[in-house]
């Protein structure tokens, strides 16, 4: 059982921002910031790595349009568009979704911070990343 599949099937109510044959966008129940929206494929796929390209591209295309619409209508100063993949990355619902999180100022309820970290040998990192 998947809570987002139940939302897509209208078994669980949601606040629908956008819907087409492949994609559903709803208000996130937590509203981390005002207007926080989730964009998900109607097909059940666990995350961005496991998903087929068509599902990802359909969601990204809708997320791009909605990000612009939401920023305009909420008068936000910016927006984070992100997807969490895997428990270690904070994914709590195993159905691919993109968060659209309008940003108002540095004191709003979300903090994405790139902390100081040890220097890396980029040549070595590149070798690992490219496999
Ligand atoms: P993540 O942690 O990236 O998997 O995000 C899951 C998101 O789903 C969280 O931000 C939750 O607030 C949101 N969520 C969970 N249940 C519901 C629901 N019934 N309706 C809307 N959003 C939900
Ligand atoms: Zn699902």
| Percent of the chain residues topping a pLDDT of 90 | 95
Active site residue 99: no
For the Cβ of 91 lying below 6 angstroms from any atom of ligand 1, the answer is yes
Given a cut of 90, whether residue 7 has pLDDT beyond it is: yes
What is the rounded average pLDDT for all residues in the chain?
97
Distance CA 103, CA 65 (A): 16
The DSSP call for residue 88 is: G
For the Cβ of 37 lying below 6 angstroms from any atom of ligand 1, the answer is no
Q: Which atom of ligand 1 is nearest to the CA of 30?
A: 12
Q: Which pLDDT band, with edges at 50, 70 and 90, does 101 fall under?
A: very high
Locate the domains of the chain by residue range.
3-130
- Dist. CA 37 → ligand 1 center (Å): 9
Distance CA 116, CA 119 (A): 9
What's the angle, vertex CA 82, arms to CA 16 and CA 30, rounded to 5?
50
CATH number for 3-130: choose from 3.30.70.20, 3.40.50.920, 3.90.550.10, 3.30.428.10: 3.30.428.10
Mean pLDDT over 14-36 rounds to: 98
Nearest ligand to residue 9 Cα: 2
Distance CA 97, CA 28 (A): 11
Question: 67: buried, middle or exposed (CB in 10 Å: 19+, 13-18, 0-12)?
Answer: buried
């Amino acid at each position: 059982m998947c809570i987002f599949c139940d939302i897509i099937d209208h078994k669980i109510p949601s606040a629908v921002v956008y819907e087409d044959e492949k994609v559903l966008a709803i208000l996130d129940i937590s509203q981390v910031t005002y207007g926080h929206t989730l964009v998900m494929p109607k097909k059940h796929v666990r995350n961005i790595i496991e998903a087929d390209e068509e599902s990802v591209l359909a969601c990204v295309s809708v997320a791009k349009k909605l990000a612009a619409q939401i920023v305009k209508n909420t008068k936000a100063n910016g927006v984070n568009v992100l997807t969490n993949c895997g428990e270690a990355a904070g994914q709590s619902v195993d159905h691919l979704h993109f968060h659209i999180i309008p940003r108002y100022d540095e004191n709003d309820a979300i903090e994405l911070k790139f902390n100081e970290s040890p220097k890396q040998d980029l040549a070595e990192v590149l070798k690992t990343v490219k496999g």
